[in-house]
Amino acid sequence: MQTVDDNGKKLSVKAACEALGVSRATYYRWRKRKEDPPPPPAPRISHRRLSEDEEQDVIDELNSERFCDYAVPEVHATLLDEGKYVCSVRTMYRVLKRREEVRERRDQRVHPPYTKPELLATRPNELWSWDITRIKGPKSWIFYHLYVVLDVFSRYVVGWMISETESGEEAEALVTHCCEQQAIGRDEVTLHSDRGKAMRSNRFIDLLIELGVARSYSRPHVSNDNPYSEAQFKTLKYHWTFPERFGSLEDARQYLREFFRWYNDEHRHSGLAMMTPADVHAGRADERWLERKQTLLAAYERHPERFVRGEPSPRHVPEEVWINKPKELEVAG
């Protein structure tokens, strides 16, 4: 230990220890331990530990054909009922851990891995997404169920309904109405959803088969597999006019009727180059783009010096929309 005072003069060990408030014996003990560290302590072996032969007997018992699919506590209890004690349950686990054999021993069903949905939409009425959300009624225990079917390419709400219940029958009526309104033929549209009870009811699946609508499901507990419906619900519930509660089912229905009219016909969507879902869904996006282009060109001709990047051009609506775009395409893009 070498310490200097305010004048840069070296202090003695005694002075340095007094300044730090430690004894010189502590300092010398610390220095000796640093220069000549003591050997590591010998591993302690308990006199209660099983011998190698006894450990092997435990392993043989646990891995026998009789017990290979049994949990360790079950093996222990079975042996006790037969009047045989090998060792404690905890010791059995220690022996298995030393041999790296701690794992699920029971013969259990393994669920197949769920495939990540990768869906592409390049035009309206090619891919629909739908979901159900709850909204608050007049009392804390009353909820209404809002069903919304959304076109993924145009973000256009092709159909919605609100009900006091969540069921496959309600979903049947909504999807049938949407297909009729949009004149959907067989094998024209894919309907994507999560794995809720209404989405997977037998009657609803039979209806999709009858209509020729392909079905797709999100993976369990993966909300990102259905992002467009989730985003639409957020737009609804975070809108400044959305109330804390609705006074009645008819009150909610009246509000939603006006909201979805605004959402489809007036709302400029950031994912659609700030065009409305109705314009994109009806194929008016190119017309709107030309109108914006002409307005920008007129402004550019009046004051070109204000456009530092040259002649301006409005954004185009994306030509394709993905649910879970493949990584190889993301890299290529």
pLDDT (0 to 100) of residue 129: 96
What residues pair up with 146 in beta bridges, in sequence order? 133, 162
Pairing of strands 119-121, 127-136: unpaired
pLDDT (0 to 100) of residue 1: 52
Query: Which regions in the chain score pLDDT beneath 70?
Result: 1-9, 107, 330-333
Cβ 154 vs Cβ 125: under 8 Å: no
Residues sharing a CB contact under 8 Å with residue 14, sequence separation 6 or more, in sequence order: 24
Q: What is the pLDDT of residues 277-311, one digit of tens each?
A: 999 999 999 999 999 999 999 999 999 999 998 99
pLDDT (0 to 100) of residue 50: 87
Cβ 314 vs Cβ 296: under 8 Å: yes
- For residues 227 and 150, what is the distance between their CA atoms, to the nearest angstrom? 11
pLDDT (0 to 100) of residue 5: 56
Q: Which domains does the chain have, with CATH numbers?
A: 3-35 (no CATH), 52-98 (no CATH), 111-333 (3.30.420.10)
pLDDT (0 to 100) of residue 68: 84
DSSP code at position 275: B
Burial of 129 (0-12, 13-18, 19+ CB in 10 A): buried
Closest-CA residue to 204 (of 134, 132, 152, 111): 132
3-class DSSP state of 229: helix
pLDDT (0 to 100) of residue 151: 98
pLDDT (0 to 100) of residue 331: 59
Cβ 280 vs Cβ 156: under 8 Å: yes
Burial of 300 (0-12, 13-18, 19+ CB in 10 A): middle
Closest-CA residue to 54 (of 87, 24, 6): 87
* Backbone torsion region of residue 273, taken as left when φ is above 0, otherwise alpha when ψ lies between -120 and 50, otherwise beta: left
DSSP code at position 146: E
